[in-house]
Structure 1
């Protein structure tokens, strides 16, 4: 299981969309990190995780909890208002205690302002589903992961050079139906939490996958 921790201070909560985008970029950051590739120190764990179900969980931390999480091996990715730290995957029963005790449920954010028109790549959320912010962060991480796997080596290098630029938006019902027939990577949830098994949650619309 791959753990992401979002920083949520009492008087400094991240915006919803920024948290989703930052979580997706954090997943991409660990996939591309040299420690995750070849003979890197995280490579074996990353291969084992990707050969199984690419399960992700989002937890939240503040104050001393966040400082303890930062002390563990991982990568912190920062957005405009969000900070997300991603950790190398481990078996469920081997999650470090300082992460395992962090809360999962009840992570919900709001967007402070209207959102600008997105620039691609875009991770499109299913408009027919209701998900907590934590659940949606994990689903956007899945979508970014699937897009990464679908890209060519040159496409991945281009995305790395762009610092994993992406946007997250909720599709309109019409957009969603068109996206479902596009052949783009789509996340199909196992249904353990919040949504029904088989629910299609997010579609990754990367321009390099449609050229």
Structure 2
């Protein structure tokens, strides 16, 4: 993968530089812990959760994962596009996401904000262009973060034509927390892929499969990503490690993302 230097590099370039150090890319700044909370940048991810017809947990997570990446790779996210500056500012720090739930008129209201909505088997999620937490649009700020949980489901084996995002089987996460984590995972995968693979994925609308990992496979995978260059080169495997701001301990591996080499 070739990443352009300078202020007009792709918005995922800072993600690759920070998480894929073995590529020999220049490090990007990641300084937020001393920033006032209202000045922190985050991507709002809105999950549609209607009372009368709640979505399946797996489908909703898959929609959120695809939507988060679709915003980053939209035409408006290219240098010169309307979304480029806020996205690049965001990816140059921690790639924080905050998931909120919406239904009815509140869901319709967020459709007018800049972002991308993805539908997977009737489950819908909309990822919005990042902004400072203190500058959240009113349509988003009024939405609740808590209560965004859904019962576990059994989606069956993942399809062969898409990357698989494996959730930590030993860590309980709300649907909102898991949605943010799988959104991180698709961004990491995209930041590492070469142009042909990324083009193929784009043709499939960045669809992915979310599953809870088998415990034995999880242990093997976590051991493998201790050597991230080898894990990626040999197995197409990359880990999401959480910063520990909510729900889990800092450094917890929440997702193992696997790109099929076939």
TM bracket (short chain): over 0.9
Q: Report deviation, 1:168.
A: 0.5
Number of aligned residue pairs? 208
| Map of 1:116 onto structure 2 | 156
Residue 64 of structure 1, aligned match among 105, 113, 122: 105
| Map of 2:12 onto structure 1 | none
| Map of 2:212 onto structure 1 | 170
User: Which ranges in structure 2 are unaligned for 5 or more consecutive residues?
Assistant: 1-41, 226-230, 232-236
| Map of 2:92 onto structure 1 | 51
Displacement over 2 Å in runs of 4+: none
Mean Cα deviation higher: 195-204 or 175-184: 175-184
Q: Report deviation, 1:17.
A: 0.3
Residue 147 of structure 1, aligned match among 171, 185, 189: 189
SS of the residue 1:185 aligns to: strand
**RMSD of aligned alpha carbons:** 1.3
1:136 aligns with 2:170: no
| Map of 2:242 onto structure 1 | 189
| Map of 2:141 onto structure 1 | 100
SS of the residue 2:210 aligns to: strand
SS of the residue 2:172 aligns to: coil
1:199 aligns with 2:252: yes
SS of the residue 1:198 aligns to: coil
TM-score in terms of structure 1 length: 0.94
- Structure exhibiting the larger radius of gyration computed from Cα positions: 2
Structure with the greater relative contact order (CA < 8 A, sep ≥ 6): 1 or 2? 1
| Map of 2:130 onto structure 1 | 89
In structure 2, C-alpha distance between the alignment counterparts of 1:202 and 1:149, rounded to whole Å? 16
In structure 2, C-alpha distance between the alignment counterparts of 1:45 and 1:101, rounded to whole Å? 22
In structure 2, C-alpha distance between the alignment counterparts of 1:74 and 1:199, rounded to whole Å? 29
